[in-house]
Structure formats: C-alpha cells, structure tokens
Amino acid sequence: MRVSAKKEGFSVHAISGTRAVILAMNAREDALQDFLGFGIGIRSPGDGAIRWLRGFKCFATLEPTPTRGQRFETVEHPIQGFMWGHYWADPDQEYRYVVRPLFLPASGKLDDLRHGADLEVTIRTEKEDSGTHSIYFNRGAIVSQAYAEKFQNDNNLTAAELKAELNDKDAERTKWLSRGLLEGALGFIAQAKSSRFSLHCCFYELTYPPILKALADAAAAGAEVQVTFDADHFKRSRNRREESAQGKRNREAIEAFKGRPRLHFKERIHYISLTHNKFMVLLDNGRPVQVWTGSTNITPSGFCGQSNTGHVVRNEAVAKQFEDYFTLLARDEQREALKVFTGAASPNPPDSLPPNSITTLFSPRRGESMMDWYGGRVEGAKQTVILTSAFGVTTKLAKYFDNDRDYLRYILMEQKSRGAGAQAMIERDKDTRIVLGQGLGYTGSMGNWRKVPGFKLEEWMWREHHYRSSGHVFFIHTKYMGIDVLTDDPIVFTGSANFSPNSLTSNDENMLLIRGDTGVADVYLTEFFRLLNHFYFRQVANRRARDGKSDSGVRWLAEDDSWVWGHYQPSYYRSKRRELFGVPA
C-alpha cells in the first residue's frame, strides 16, 4: 500500500509491505532554512498519544558524553535524512505515522526546537495469509543488536541445546528468526487436512524436522503427500550413480518418516547439475490450486539464518503449470526431456510481459537467451532496479548494468562477482549502489573475523554462522529482481533460480515473472531496503576496520541546516533517492 500527505512545503510518502514500512520525506527548497531534520512517531490507536521513535544520533551540544547504545527521541534529536524504515511492523495492521519537521529556533537553543506542521499518514500493512499472493521473509540478519539484547547472545545455551531449540517450531527464538517464514510454510502444508487434498513437493535440501513432521501430519490426516529430494549425482564420465553429501544429509533426515501411509519420498539423481527447486503444489480433489515457491531450502539455516523468502500463489493456472513440471521431476527425467518440456511449457516471454500477469519460467532450458531477456529489462528500466544475488552478478547480466541511463540501481549480494570484468561493470555507473551481505568484522571467510575497534558487536560474531558450518551462502540467499518497483506498473522476478547461465541451462529451477502488482512490489521493495540498510552499516564498519580506523560508536547530528545540501544537488545520489521515493511537496 502507498499513501502520502503534504503540508507547508513538506511531504511524506509511506510504502508498506507485510512487516516493514518505508517513510520517504521531501521538501521544497524554500522551506529548508534552519531545518534540522524530522521527528518521527507512531500515534496510538487508543488514546491518540504519539510514541516518538528513537535513534542513535544526537546533538553534541545537548549530549556531549552519550553512553554506547544510548537512544534519543527523534522529536529532540531529529533524523537528518529523507528516508526512514519501520522494520518491526506486523502484518495486516494499521499504523498512523506522525512526521514533524524541526527547525533551529531564533534563540539558537537546541533544547527548544521550533517545529513545523505535523504530517500524518495512516497505512495498513499487507496480509500474509490471503489474496492471490502471500509473501514471507525471514529475519535474514541474525547478528544484530536486537538479537543480542533479546536472547542474551545465546550465552546460556550449549550447541546441542541451541540446535534443539531451532528445531522446535514453537520456540521463541525460532519464531523470532523465521519472522513468519516457517509459520507460512507450515500453514501452507496444514491446508492438506483430509483425503480431499494432495501435496506434491520438490526440494533440494530436506533436513528440517518441523517441515518433515508437518508433511507427515498431513499424510496422517488422509492427504496424499509426494516428496522428491536431491539424492545422488550421476557421474557421466564413470557412467554410475554416486552418493552426494547433500543426498546423505537428506536421507538421514527423512529416515524417521519413511514407510508411513500416504507419505512417499522419491530420490532424484543429478542427471543435471543441481536439483535446485524448492516448491510445493497443493491439490484439491486432484486439481492444482496453490503453489509455494521461493528461495527457502528446508533446513534450519533456510528458515532461521540466511535471508530467504517464501511466495504463495493462489492461481489455478500457475498451480497447474507447476504440477505438470512436478510430474516430470518426480519421474526423474533426464536433462534433454526436461528441456523439451520447459521449451514448450514456459518459452521465453515476449519483450513486454502481459499487463497484470504472472508468467512461469522453468529450467533447464535450451541456451542462455533468458539472460539477455533479463538484461533487457535492466537496461530498459525507467526508474530503478533492485537485485539480490547470492553469488555475485554474472558477466552475462552485469554488462546490462553498465550503461549511462539515468536511474538508480541497487544490488545486494553475498560476494563480489567473479566473472570476467563483471564487478567493474556493475561498479562503473555512479547511480549503482552495491552492498555485500557480511557480518561485522567479516574478512571474507567464515570463522575468520577481524575486530572492529570501538564496537562491542564483534564479541558475538561467531553466532552468525551457527546454523550452517559449511557451504557457500551464509547471508544473502534470496533470488529476486525488481524493475521500476515504485511505479504503478512494477515487475518482480522471484523464485529458486540465481540469475546465472547455469541456473537456466544446467539446473532444475523455477521463477515467477510478475507484472503490474504493486502490492507484491511493495513487499519486495520494503524487505530489500530493510536488509540493504542493515548490511550497509556492517560494510562501512568493516571498511573502517580494514583501514585501521577506530570508531567511537557516536554519530553527531549537524547543528545547522548544512546537512541538507547533499540531498539537493541534482547529480548526487541522495538527491536522486529523495526524488525517487518521495512525492512533490
């Protein structure tokens, strides 16, 4: 949902997802004399009182010796920026925000700020459990100040106790970390509550007890449940099947559930590179009616560690396409047979997706031409591009970011691009903002941490990877892209596939191409910036530590209107961002 308000030369534009809201402020330049920033509050639905939100920055004149971690009400120590995120909202809730412009008074005394007219907007967050789309994001950044404060940094738990707690769907820690993602998956499965229903599931990693138990419970209730999972790899050079490490873990996890009536497990062999899908189809009396897809592997890390999303589509045509795809995967068809199916069932879309549409895309495919199709959407964007990438940006896609067109591009990725010249391509344009998923003190390899002088956070860095001791992705695992997401005709691509040639030609994968749904776009947009801003802080701190710079942890506010200047220089990023997210004042 999007709402806005304006008054006396200022405006606010609110954008809500399911569990996050972005407030974008704007102002006429002639209203900025002596402007010191914004106080931001939430008005109580009961007595109407304003709860002023708190920040870490303060005026040195008023607070010359703040304690580490001390927070200050923004009505007294304002936000000196034109964007703010409410990242702890609840789904399907109404929020009434108060944005108060604050100015230096004629007396010059900072303890008696002059304020302009309050801007108020009322907005409701999106639902998670109804409509054509339901979208769930987990916390995705477990090492945070909030986690340390809430769970005392896990100091009282052994590794075994922590593992047991994460395997308990009702544990407070699990609920906090999954942030609705696990509940969403369990709720999807729970719909199969009688013999009228069937569940057809295709998983890469399948080791998480809460999901396995839910599937078993559905079968016990009478539903027919079929589950394919990644098992062994077929070595063509040796013409034989060999056990994979992932297959071994999957087999061990399902052992306790095998042999139950109506619960059928089907091993899949790597005739292709990776059996990388993670989807479920719900059937009602044999008719496919809903699909669960997204980036989430069925592991503790998938739900409680690395960033992930689950996306439900309640559309029978889409569900039927996934069910037809599942039929081939369950037969463990080899690569060429799968390519014949994907070419017929999900051919490359036209240059312009149909208005207000959901298009399915399956892999493996014949050739890499979809990379150029994705690239064409990047190059042709009118307003903005957002992209998450677990393995950097492939050269095939990076070259389309390397253009001189005037729009903002944001990339959130796990690691730098390693393809020929790819990193230089995405870095060249000054309108591209790149943030890496990383822990505070992270040096590029798990278990190898650098102290960040001035921060206490490095004392609990090792907790960032306690859900996953090996692998390739620890922080950013989502696979989605948004094109012109702030317009009335946004495009979102989301699914299991990394935007890479291998994901198209060598893996089995799925992707949804969604055009024209602003509700979907708003959820992905708000969650993207929640993580982008979180990891940007870590990136800056790590860079300072690498350069040997200490950090006092204190951020002073400007005590005059000089901070505004960079937000109004036409060629500056902050000015472009203000214009992109805000509305005219």
Assign residue 71 the CATH number of its domain. Answer: 2.60.40.10
pLDDT of amino acid 458 = 44
- Cβ-contact 57, 557 below 8 angstroms: yes
The one-letter amino acid at 562 = S
Residue 260 lies in a domain: yes
Residues 267 and 157 in one domain: yes
- 503: helix, coil or strand? helix
User: How far is 66 from 56, CA to CA, in rounded Å?
Assistant: 10
Q: What are phi and psi of 47, to 5 degrees?
A: -90, 0
pLDDT of amino acid 462 = 43
User: How far is 164 from 166, CA to CA, in rounded Å?
Assistant: 6
Residue 535 lies in a domain: no
The residues pairing with 481 across neighbouring beta strands, listed in sequence order, are 387, 493
User: If we measure between CA atoms, which residue out of 203, 245, 143, 205 comes closest to residue 455?
Assistant: 143
pLDDT of amino acid 467 = 52
- Cβ-contact 12, 97 below 8 angstroms: yes
Residue 536 lies in a domain: no
Residues 161 and 193 in one domain: yes
How many other C-beta atoms can be found within 10 angstroms of the C-beta atom of residue 4? Answer: 18
Residues 56 and 189 in one domain: no
Residues 113 and 258 in one domain: no
Residue 542 lies in a domain: no
How many other C-beta atoms can be found within 10 angstroms of the C-beta atom of residue 191? Answer: 14
Domain count along the chain: 2
Domain boundary among 314, 333, 352: 333
The one-letter amino acid at 298 = I
Which segments of the chain have a pLDDT < 70? 141-145, 153-155, 234-237, 270-272, 440-471, 548-554
Residues 141 and 200 in one domain: yes
User: How far is 279 from 281, CA to CA, in rounded Å?
Assistant: 7
- Cβ-contact 210, 236 below 8 angstroms: no
User: How far is 274 from 233, CA to CA, in rounded Å?
Assistant: 9
Domain boundary among 333, 353, 388: 333
User: How far is 270 from 230, CA to CA, in rounded Å?
Assistant: 8
Residues 223 and 325 in one domain: yes
pLDDT of amino acid 11 = 98
pLDDT of amino acid 269 = 82
- Cβ-contact 274, 507 below 8 angstroms: yes
Residue 116 lies in a domain: yes
Residues 76 and 195 in one domain: no
* CA distances for 356 relative to 4, 138, 513, 515, angstroms: 24, 27, 11, 5
Residues 77 and 210 in one domain: no
Q: For residue 46, what are the domain limits?
A: 2-127+562-581
Domain boundary among 297, 315, 333: 333
Residue 531 lies in a domain: no
Residues 210 and 75 in one domain: no
pLDDT of amino acid 461 = 43
Residues 98 and 170 in one domain: no
